[in-house]
Amino acid sequence: MSLIAVVGCKKDNEFYNEGQIWTTEHIRYQCTVEGIIRVLGCVDENGLFVELGRDIMMHGIVHRCYRIDKTTVYHRYECNRRTLAECILNAPTLRPPTTPS
């Protein structure tokens, strides 16, 4: 009896070779030698790459790529503040809900 060694990765019924890089829904992946799918970062519709865990501000637009639990999120929003730090502190999704007094 012989065993067949499977090389590569499988995601959403698609097979990928070792080292192969692909993008699905703004998230860029890579298939590792060990057969593990690694998230490299996020990509916008114009091809701008943002490394996982990084934030970029270009021309008044903030691009964020981060992970919440096991989910990778690409978040893009307009911000007219002076610095990236100010934009992140005032990000639309980071505002806590207010409770009526």
Q: What is the DSSP string of 3-17?
A: PPPP-SEEETTEEE-
What is the Cβ-side half-sphere exposure of residue 43, based on CA atoms within 13 angstroms? 14
Q: 3 in a domain, yes or no?
A: no
The number of folded domains in the chain is 1
Determine the Cα–Cα distance for residues 25 and 65; give it in Å rounded to an integer. Answer: 13
Q: Are 12 and 6 spatial neighbours (Cβ–Cβ below 8 Å)?
A: no
Q: 89 in a domain, yes or no?
A: yes
> What is the token pair recorded at 14?
């698609």
pLDDT for 72 equals 95
Residue 99's region, left for phi above 0, alpha for psi from -120 to 50, else beta, is beta
Q: 34 in a domain, yes or no?
A: yes
Q: 99 in a domain, yes or no?
A: no
Q: 101 in a domain, yes or no?
A: no
Q: 98 in a domain, yes or no?
A: no
Determine the Cα–Cα distance for residues 101 and 98; give it in Å rounded to an integer. Answer: 9
- Which residue pairs, CB below 8 angstroms and at least 24 apart, start in 40-49? 41/65, 42/72, 42/74, 43/74, 44/74, 44/76
pLDDT averages per 10-residue partition of the chain, 101 residues: 68 91 96 94 95 95 94 93 89 54 43
Q: 4 in a domain, yes or no?
A: no
pLDDT for 5 equals 55
Q: 65 in a domain, yes or no?
A: yes
For residue 54, what are the domain limits?
9-93
